[in-house]
Amino acid sequence: MSEPSIFFSEVNERQGVFNRRAFLMGGLAGGTILALGGRLAQLQLLEFDRYRLMSTENQFNFRLIPPPRGRIMDRFGVELASNRPNFRVLVVRDEINDIDATLDALSQLIPITPERRRQLLREISRSPKLVPVAVAEDLTWEEFSRVNVRTPELPGVTADMGEARVYPHGGAFAHVVGYVAKVSDRDVAAAGLNPDPLLHHPGFRIGKQGVEKALDTVLRGKSGAVKTEVDALGREVRKDPEGDINPVAGKTVVLSLDADVQSRALEVLGEESGACVVMDIQSGDLICMASAPSFDANQFVKGLSTADYRALSDYERRPLLDKALSGTYPPGSTFKPMTALAVLDSGMVDPNETIVCSGQMWFGNRFFHCWKRGGHGPQNMHEAIKNSCDIYFYQTALKIGPDRIARVAEAFGMGQTFDIGISGQKAGLVPSTAWKRRQYKQPWYPGESLSFGIGQGALSANALQLAVMTARLANGRKALNPRLIKSIGGVETPSGAAAADLPFKPEHMEMVRSAMAAVANDTTGTAYRASQLGLGPVLMAGKTGTAQVRVISRAERASGVRTNESLPWRLRDHALFVAFAPYDAPRYALSIIVQHGGGGAAVAAPMAREIMRVVLLKDAAIRARIESPLPMPEAPVPAAGEVEGEAPPPPSETILPVAAPILSGGPTP
């Protein structure tokens, strides 16, 4: 192709076209750049706030710092629940590419069993992407530092030092102090729409029972946060101490309990199933509230295996149940002081008047038996309480009717729950004519009064109520309220002594108390041998109770009532004892229930004595009195003199718990 020669006109034409087009192109480029400027204005000026927020969210990360959980202490400052350091290794799924490789690397450093590994993989896949999962807890310092050194090479793995709850007394306070455990889905649901972010923290444990549950939010404190600048991979670049929020530690809770007494009570109850409550008669403070058998609360903090949990929940003696509050039992003869007070208050029976006990009485169409075959002979009220004569109380209860007895029982705390700060109390039941009508649409049958009079029938109470009953009787004036939580965060809770007066005559209560002293200190009292404290002038008063749980047939009665030892555990009698001491200047009240334990005098009273001894010896004023060489100048202890130097009573008299009063028509508890 020959090259065309370029003519001048053409040169001009081409230049003209080019210039126009170049201008057009420049305009196009200028317009585009202007459009880019407009877009910049939109992003940087109009939508600035939105993007600034997004940038801040990218840049800063608030890492939750769990607050130290508040300690729980006994009245003398002994720790019942505290925290110990817990070295853990956590992984965050979102930051891990290959979870298997990460676990492989970790298992080089810390022991991870294949079983644990499977469990972990399940846990990790189930948890939200950003929530850390604990691979291992309670590591030794060596293991912890081994992982800590390697964390830069293991993205998504952090070694951190948390705190774990520890219960130094193991099982002694498992019911009343309770325990903390992993947060369940139900806990999260219960937290409502805006749950505390702590609930999702891997180390966090929530209160599940007792004080730990009731005061969970108080003990929990407020979480803090560490503000850190992170890069795109989530790695911490800088800390920003000014942006940190310090955690607020949970408040310390002081209980009225005494760790020594509580531990002794658990020890004394041993393998038995039961509960013991000790109460201060002046302040209403609960010195002891034990339930046996117990369990190690520390196990729940770590997480209990299904097998272990099943072992606890399936055991016949119900270790998981707080029997002091939620176990209600027929009080049996421990209720007789209440019947006696109702009788005195009614004025319908002269307490000195005697009723002859022949061992049985015919009422309705059947016999009602006294626990003592052959009977007690003529009994006045004092003797009837001392000997726990059933016939006397059958007769008097029949005379005064159930509603008078119910009024006394309710005034002394039965059939109700107390505000002691923790849940789980069962109110039990105080029967009355109104109750019978309401519940069964039936009139009260006089036969029921007989059972009611000796603390059986529909009547039921828990150990706390029996302790309150005894404390109020021993106080003689005030309707004391029990107090469990002494102070929260240094703020004292209201005392249990701020209560109304009991609507009964002090001399009537004194008569009942002196009969209870005879139970424990008269050589013929039902609990004489079991109630001697051996603390010199300081004596205990009490009342035994043996509550029957089965119907004794006429044939069995004829051939001799079977002993508790010959019966299966669940058919044996409940052994009960209520006591207060010192008798002459009451300071502590105690109740003990041994479920299916046998006789109150043989089983419950010796336990009560052991526990009461610790209680009294820990009281400085009482201890001084015991240790003083001379007796108090005006100690009005009528029973004490008689006891001195007397020979122990014959064994047949003291080992008496087997026989129990026969029930009338009422249902067996």
Partner 1 sequence: MTASAITRPGERDRLIVKLAQIDWTLMLVLCLIAATGAAMLYSISGLSWEPWAAKHLVRFGLCIGMMIVLATVDVRLWFMSAYPVYGLGLVLLIAVEIMGDVSLGAQRWLDLGFVRLQPSEIMKIGLVLALARFYHGLSAEAAKFSWRLVVPVVLIALPTLLVAHQPDLGTAVLLASSGGAVMVLAGLSLRVVVALAVTLAASIPPFVMFVLHDYQRSRILTFLNPEADPSGSGYHILQSKIALGSGGLLGKGYGLGSQSQLNFLPEKHTDFIFATLAEEFGFIGCISVLLLFAAAITIALRIASVSHSHFGRLGAAGVTATFALYVMINGAMVMGLAPVVGVPMPLLSYGGTVMLTVMVGFGLVQSVRVHRYSEITSGRGTLL
Q: Which residues pair with 207 in a beta bridge?
A: 180
Considering CB under 8 A, how many residues would be counted as binding partner 1?
Answer: 44
Q: Which stretch binds partner 1 (CB under 8 A): 207-215, 228-236, 437-445, 498-506?
A: 228-236
Smallest distance, partner 1 to C-beta of residue 48, A: 5
Dihedral angle sign, alpha carbons of residues 366, 370, 375, 380: negative
Smallest distance, partner 1 to C-beta of residue 57, A: 9
Burial track 253-267 (b if 16+ CB lie within 10 A, e otherwise): bbbbbbbbbbbbbbe
Beta strands in 293-427 (DSSP E): 355-357, 360-363, 366-369, 377-379
At which residue do the structure tokens 């336990």 appear? 607
By CB under 8 A, tell whether 378 contacts partner 1: no
By CB under 8 A, tell whether 229 contacts partner 1: yes
At which residue do the structure tokens 């310090």 appear? 246
Burial track 143-182 (b if 16+ CB lie within 10 A, e otherwise): bbebbbeeeeebbbbbbbebbbbebebbbbbbbbbbbbbb
Among 189, 193, 232, 555, binds partner 1 (CB under 8 A): 232
Instruction: Closer to partner 1 by CB, 233 or 500: give it.
Output: 233
Q: Which stretch binds partner 1 (CB under 8 A): 71-79, 230-238, 408-416, 594-602?
A: 230-238
Q: Which stretch binds partner 1 (CB under 8 A): 10-18, 355-363, 464-472, 504-512?
A: 10-18
By CB under 8 A, tell whether 97 contacts partner 1: no
Instruction: Closer to partner 1 by CB, 15 or 246: give it.
Output: 15
Instruction: Closer to partner 1 by CB, 31 or 364: give it.
Output: 31
Among 8, 126, 142, 233, binds partner 1 (CB under 8 A): 233
The active-site residue out of 333, 451, 591, 664 is 333
| DSSP codes joined into one string, 554-610 | HHHHHH-PPPGGGS-GGGSPEEEEEEEESSSS--EEEEEEEET---IIIIIHHHHHH
What does the alpha-carbon distance between residue 659 and residue 456 come to, in Å, rounded to a whole number?
Answer: 15
Nearest partner of 360 among 320, 380, 386, 390, judged by Cα: 390
By CB under 8 A, tell whether 98 contacts partner 1: no
Smallest distance, partner 1 to C-beta of residue 91, A: 19
Q: At 434, which amino acid appears?
A: A
Given a contact cutoff of 8 angstroms between Cβ atoms, the answer to whether 83 and 72 are in contact is no
By CB under 8 A, tell whether 17 contacts partner 1: yes
Structure tokens at 429: 């039941």
By CB under 8 A, tell whether 18 contacts partner 1: yes
Among 21, 310, 373, 505, binds partner 1 (CB under 8 A): 21
Instruction: Closer to partner 1 by CB, 12 or 119: give it.
Output: 12
Instruction: Closer to partner 1 by CB, 228 or 339: give it.
Output: 228
Burial class (CB in 10 A: 0-12, 13-18, 19+), 8: exposed
Smallest distance, partner 1 to C-beta of residue 62, A: 16
Among 121, 130, 149, 237, binds partner 1 (CB under 8 A): 237
Instruction: Closer to partner 1 by CB, 38 or 111: give it.
Output: 38
Is 333 a catalytic site residue?
yes
Among 78, 96, 133, 230, binds partner 1 (CB under 8 A): 230
What does the alpha-carbon distance between residue 596 and residue 144 come to, in Å, rounded to a whole number?
Answer: 50
By CB under 8 A, tell whether 13 contacts partner 1: yes
What does the alpha-carbon distance between residue 76 and residue 409 come to, in Å, rounded to a whole number?
Answer: 33
Rounded to the nearest 10 degrees, the angle between the axes of helix 390-400 and helix 446-453 is 130
CA distance readout (Å), 573 to 187, 334, 569, 600, 606 = 40, 14, 9, 9, 16
Instruction: Closer to partner 1 by CB, 56 or 194: give it.
Output: 56
Nearest partner of 605 among 577, 630, 634, 633, judged by Cα: 577
Contacts of 314 (CB under 8 A, 6+ apart): none
Structure tokens at 233: 């991979």
By CB under 8 A, tell whether 239 contacts partner 1: no
What does the alpha-carbon distance between residue 128 and residue 499 come to, in Å, rounded to a whole number?
Answer: 52
Q: Which stretch binds partner 1 (CB under 8 A): 37-45, 80-88, 641-649, 652-660?
A: 37-45
Give the 3-state secondary structure of residue 268.
helix
Instruction: Closer to partner 1 by CB, 227 or 399: give it.
Output: 227
Smallest distance, partner 1 to C-beta of residue 243, A: 14
Smallest distance, partner 1 to C-beta of residue 119, A: 29
Q: Which stretch binds partner 1 (CB under 8 A): 5-13, 372-380, 597-605, 654-662?
A: 5-13
Diameter over CA atoms, the chain? 155
By CB under 8 A, tell whether 128 contacts partner 1: no
Smallest distance, partner 1 to C-beta of residue 101, A: 22
41-80: which residues touch partner 1 (CB under 8 A)?
Answer: 41, 43-45, 47-48, 50-52, 54-56, 58-59
The residues annotated as belonging to the active site are 333
* Chain residues in the site for partner 1 (CB under 8 A): 3-4, 6, 10-11, 13-15, 17-19, 21-22, 24-26, 29-30, 32-33, 36-37, 39-41, 43-45, 47-48, 50-52, 54-56, 58-59, 229-233, 237
